[in-house]
Amino acid sequence: MYNHRTTDRLEYFSDAVLAIAATLLATELPKPEAGTDLLGEILKNWPHYAAFAASFLFICVAWSNHHNMFIYIKKTDQYLLILHILFLMFVTLQSFTTGLLALHVGKPDERTAALIYHTILVLMTVLYNCVWWYATRKKGLLEENTDPALVKLLTREYAIAPVLHLAALIISFWNVAFSIIPIVLLYIYFALPRFSEKKIRERNESIQG
């Protein structure tokens, strides 16, 4: 009972942090003042709106995956908590790096802003994977009857995010615009139905059936 409750509050805390981080993104959008050409200003500010949409979707995808992960992680210990807190710290930095990128797109320091943006995403997704790796290796944290094949599948699926973000980081040294390619690939991957999800559904049907 003690440990189950622990996971519950960890999940509520994470949900709250992710929800706030996602909602605060919109408060950073520049609102052109009266007296300016409103439509022109809005169109000129497109990097802000694109960065808002990308970061909002990113945080929601992180929430959704986080949620799937904690179907399997049933107990926590102090080390898992520390890894998880560091993961959340990089989530809350999203609004900062998104704003930075939007401010500098098409400006001399575009590359620096893109490198900062991608570095935070690499660190965040690496920490997400660390939480999972630790939970699968340490005895007694995963749900007891978790299918080892499913654990392996999820480990591989979760690892795709830091790999593609690292690719985006490396590409942005050479060309900032092209660094969007691995990000788009990542979104397509997350939008398509996944093997692990099919496995989960089959498992649920066999439990409930």
Contacts of a copy of itself in 179-198 (CB under 8 A)? 191, 193-194, 197
Interface segment toward a copy of itself; rule CB under 8 A; list 15-23, 130-138, 151-159, 175-183: 15-23
Helix, strand, or coil here: 148? helix
CB closer to a copy of itself, 108 vs 148: 108
Interface with a copy of itself (CB under 8 A), residue total: 71
How near is the Cβ of 191 to a copy of itself at its closest, in Å? 6
Footprint of a copy of itself on 76-105 (CB under 8 A): 77-78, 81-82, 85, 88-89, 92-96, 99-100, 103-104
Footprint of a copy of itself on 94-153 (CB under 8 A): 94-96, 99-100, 103-104, 107-109, 112-113, 116
The burial of 74, by beta-carbon neighbours within 10 Å (0-12 exposed, 13-18 middle, 19 or more buried), is given as: middle
Cα of first residue to Cα of last residue in the chain, in angstroms, is 27
73 scored as a contact of a copy of itself (CB under 8 A): no
| DSSP labels, 150-192 | HHHHHHHHHHHHHHHHHHHHHHHHH-TGGGHHHHHHHHHHHHS
How near is the Cβ of 21 to a copy of itself at its closest, in Å? 5
How near is the Cβ of 67 to a copy of itself at its closest, in Å? 5
Sequence-separated (6 or more) residues with CB below 8 Å from residue 22: 56, 59, 60, 63
Letters for 24-63 (x = contact with a copy of itself by CB under 8 A, - = none) are xxxx-x-xxxxxxxxx--x----------x--xx--x--x
Element (H, E) at 59: helix 46-72
In the list 17, 80, 122, 124, the residue contacting a copy of itself (rule: CB under 8 A) is 17
Alpha-carbon torsion (187, 85, 118, 157), positive or negative: negative
